[in-house]
Amino acid sequence: MGNALRFFYGSCQRQTAADEPQELGSHGVVTETAGFSALAQDLRLFHTNSRVPPGLSRYVNSSEKAQINWYSKLLKAWNEARTPPKQAEAAARLVIQTLQNIGKANLEGFLAFYGLPVPQTTEEDTDVTPPWAEGVQFELLTLPIDEWAIGDGDGFTAYVSTGEQMESNLIPQEVKNAVIRRHNARAAKDFKQAKLIKKEVIAAGYRFITLPNQKEILAHKYRIRLRGVDAPECKMPYGEEAKQALAKMIKGKCLQIHVYGVDKYGRTVGDVYCNGIFIQELLLRRGCAWHYKAFDARPEFAESEKKARADRRGLWALPNPEEPWVWKKKNPNPRETLQKNPSVYRM
Q: Where are the domains of the chain?
A: 2-113, 138-171+205-338
Q: What is the pLDDT of residues 102-153, one digit of tens each?
A: 888 888 888 888 888 776 544 444 445 567 788 999 999 898 899 999 999 9
What phi and psi values does residue 251 have, to the nearest 5 degrees?
-65, 135
Residue 192, helix vs strand vs coil: helix
Count of Cβ atoms closer than 10 Å to residue 264 Cβ:
9
Pairwise CA distance, residues 347 & 338, whole Å: 13
Is the pLDDT higher at 54 or at 341? 54
Q: Provide the H-helix boundaries in the chain.
A: 2-8, 35-49, 64-80, 88-98, 104-113, 165-170, 173-187, 191-203, 239-250, 279-285, 299-311, 324-330, 334-340
Band of residue 27 on the pLDDT scale cut at 50, 70, 90: very low
Q: How far is CA 201 from the centre of its chain?
A: 19
Q: Whole-model pTM? A: 0.66
In sign, the C-alpha dihedral spanning 72, 73, 79, 80 is: positive
How high does pLDDT run on average in the chain?
81
Point out the residues that are catalytic: 225, 233, 267
What average pLDDT score do residues 320-339 get? 78
160: closest CA among 23, 34, 3, 12? 34
The pLDDT, as a whole number, for residue 112 is 86
Question: pLDDT value at position 70?
Answer: 92
- pLDDT given for residue 159 in this prediction: 94
Query: What's the chain's length in residues?
Result: 347
* Cβ contact 120:95 at 8 Å: no
Query: Is 344 strand, coil or helix?
Result: helix
pLDDT for the residue numbered 301? 94
pLDDT in the model for residue 34: 54
What's the rounded Cα separation, in Å, for the pair 116 and 142? 12
Q: What angle do CA 122, 233, 289 make, to 5 degrees?
A: 40
> pLDDT per residue over 44-67, tens digit each?
888 888 889 888 888 888 889 999
Quick: pLDDT tens for 212-269. 667 788 999 999 999 999 999 999 999 999 999 999 999 988 899 999 999 999 999 9
Judged against a pLDDT cut of 50, whether residue 8 lies above it is answered with no
pLDDT of residue 288 exceeding 70 = yes
Looking at residue 23, its pLDDT comes to 30
Residue 91 pLDDT exceeds 60: yes
* 138-171+205-338 under CATH 2.40.50.90, yes or no: yes
